[in-house]
A and B are shown apart, each in its own frame.
Chain A
Amino acid sequence: MGQTDLQPKGTPVDTLNADGTWDRLGTIAQLLHQAATQVWTDADAAAADSPLHDLGLGVYLAHSRASALLPNDYELPEDVDLLADLEERTPLQLLTEAEELTRPLPLHQPDLVHGSQLVVDLCDLIREARGLGY
């Protein structure tokens, strides 16, 4: 459609390819899982009524939302470097990276029907994490 091509030009080609989308979502799930684990580690060192428990559950549920978008037979990529690197990052960094990875997701695809809610959740969690000192 020439200049009216509605797809972003700068987006990698494989974002509209199912495999690329799933790998991206898989990485998001890994990032969020690590973020939840780290927030809960901090929460466990705080009081039982610390708001960190709530934040941790929120991140874990976002992880669940991302995982639920993946096909049933999808297996997470075993990226050793990524997994080793995750522990070095702060929860805020992990959340921010997860949000950045959602940007090219083709939200119009029927399989990603709840993708917009995931984006809103991530932006809210980032703001909340900043507010809690991360």
Chain B
Amino acid sequence: MRTTRLTYRILAFFLCACLASQSCERVVDLGIEEEQSRLVVLCNFEPDSLFKLSVSRSRSALSGDPLEYIDNAAVGIYDGEQLLEELVLVEDPLLGRNIYTTQQLRPKEGQNYTVQVKALGLTDVSATDVVPAAVPVTSFEIIGNPVPRPITPDQQTFQVTFRMRVSFRDVPGERNFYHLNFFYKDIDFTIDGEDTLRQETGLVIPLILDNTPNSLPYLSHFSKGILVDDERSDGQLMTFEFEGVTRPVGVDEIFDFLFVELRSGSEAYYNYHSSLTLQSQNTDTVFSEPIILFNNISEGYGIFAGYNTAIDSVKSFD
């Protein structure tokens, strides 16, 4: 990212410096009416899981108010006009806040679902999306040997770099969108005399991908996954090579398998995550054009989008 900053910084400074004697800044009131808060609904759903939604409210760009989550909304999942299930509020221990979830209803592949959300003082919102068919991974392999690199002078902490190749065949004749995630399961081990004791911690840890080459046909998703559009390779075997890096690991941590998760996302899924990713990576200067964020929540903001998953794995060390 350094050269990105370099160019923007140089150009920004150049323009500012050469015009410094004349240019000026001032606070202005643009007379733009501040937008009222809207409901924000965030939900990605897949066949293996319950519907889980986050409901909050937006704030005006000029507002310094804290961002609020809403715990008293009425949330329902519908098939057309028919209510399938009302969602209940539960605490999500990982997020550390409340979310809405179904208790029985799990999405089915190919079916359209509509969410309707009502909250006091805010305009009702709704959105509709579908779960696409899963696409299997045809091959997944590690290229060459993983490269551990000590990152502390005492050489007790490492990062391991893997070069991976993954292939899958795109479904022909339709626009398809994919989300590739690579991760490993964390395992602790201890030496007890001559025995090595291993214990899975249950943590699924994503590999960190280089987020700099954000160019078609793929986009790096927050450094942890890859978003792929089949626009230029309809029906073809899609093969990608990536380098992924583990988080810093100690000598007492091992991992024996790498996993690839291939998500087949709806178009809304792809548009939202790609635009959000690009927006988060966009340098906040006047010399970069803003990224327009996708939204499929009618009268509100956020995303309600389905995806389907296929998983493959490979042994990380021979």
Do A and B interact with each other, yes or no?
Answer: no
